[in-house]
Amino acid sequence: MADGQRKNLRVAIAGLGSIGSKIARELDRGIEGLELSAVAVRDAGKHQAFLSGLRHQPSVLPIDQLGEAADIVVECAPSSQLRAIVEPAVKRGKIAVVVSVGALLDNGDLIDIARASGGRIVVPTGALIGLDAVAAAAVGTIHSVRMVTRKPIDGLKGAPFIVQNNIDIDGLREPLKLFEGTAREAAKGFPANLNVAVALSLAGVGPDRTSVQIWADPTVTRNVHRIEVESDSARFSMSIENIPSENPKTGLITALSVIALLRKQRATLSVGT
């Protein structure tokens, strides 16, 4: 069949929060070769006005049924829901786009399940920068990957590491280093705040060799990530200052990164690895 006659790829979205609602709106406006077929939410009533504002109404399904209604399932729900969304999709040989990437570390068998079923798990660059360069460097030898994250207080509140260690960040007047360790440890202590560290680690040297510092910083208004990579092909450092979305833990660029990834699925010209 000629490319122009190919059927649209059907996309389903799990979660219509700060990330999912923007992706849904963009798919509804039109992305070449793609269509929004279904969504899953926790509380359908809460999203009724949003959904009825779309030009084409997607089906509203339970999260574990999205893979039946789509070729690509985009996970943008709390990390606790990762398995319920991704497993049925990849078992059907579908593509799961995962933003709660930190939760992949405790659900690594999903990769084996996907492999056995012909499914795929795709992690977008999300709120980060430069995973193309990190993945390219990883084809050679990477000697070290370090990341320093600074977030405003609202971007860190409620993180298990802060709660368990009884750290009071509300009254901070100066930056405080909260954590130094591996990306795996960061994902456990900050599951809704440090997905980026895990994405970086999976692109590069893995969660146990990627070192991470986390600062609560009342002097910044953006979620700031700075990365330094030493490899046998290049040395590079990159930083990104993310404007928080309506969810202060989540940078605005995250949804845009997923939209850019979706656009590539059927684009005639695709740029960047």
* Residue closer to ligand OAA, measured from CB, 119 or 251: 251
* Residue closer to ligand NDP, measured from CB, 233 or 238: 238
Q: How far apart are CA 121 and CA 86, in angstroms?
A: 8
Using CB under 6 A, which of 137, 159, 194, 258 touches ligand OAA? 194
Q: Tell me if 265 sits within 8 A of 72, measured CB to CB.
A: yes
Residue of 47, 56, 143, 225 with catalytic role: 225
Q: Residues in contact with ligand NDP, total (CB under 6 A)?
A: 31
Using CB under 6 A, which of 149, 210, 211, 254 touches ligand NDP? 254
Q: Tell me if 178 sits within 8 A of 215, measured CB to CB.
A: yes
Q: How far apart are CA 142 and CA 244, in angstroms?
A: 31
One symbol per residue from 212 to 251: x for binding ligand OAA (CB under 6 A), - otherwise; what is it? -----------x------------------x------xxx
225 is a catalytic site residue: yes
What count of Cα atoms within 13 Å lies in the side-chain half-sphere of residue 27?
34
211, burial (CB in 10 Å: exposed 0-12, middle 13-18, buried 19+): buried
**52 to each of 36, 42, 57, 159, 197, how far by Cα in Å?**
14, 17, 7, 34, 36
Q: How far apart are CA 156 and CA 203, in angstroms?
A: 24
Of ligand NDP, ligand OAA, none, which one sits near residue 247, judging by CB under 5 to 8 A according to partner kind? Answer: ligand NDP
Residues between 67 and 126 with contacts to ligand NDP, criterion CB under 6 A: 76-79, 81, 99-101, 126
Of ligand NDP, ligand OAA, none, which one sits near residue 177, judging by CB under 5 to 8 A according to partner kind? Answer: none
* Residue closer to ligand OAA, measured from CB, 67 or 155: 155
Closest alpha carbon to 150 in 217, 235, 53, 242: 217
Q: How far apart are CA 175 and CA 224, in angstroms?
A: 13
Query: What residues make contact with ligand OAA under the rule CB under 6 A?
Result: 127, 193-196, 223, 242, 249-251, 254
Query: What residues make contact with ligand NDP under the rule CB under 6 A?
Result: 14-20, 40-43, 46, 63, 76-79, 81, 99-101, 126-128, 192, 195-196, 199, 247, 250, 254
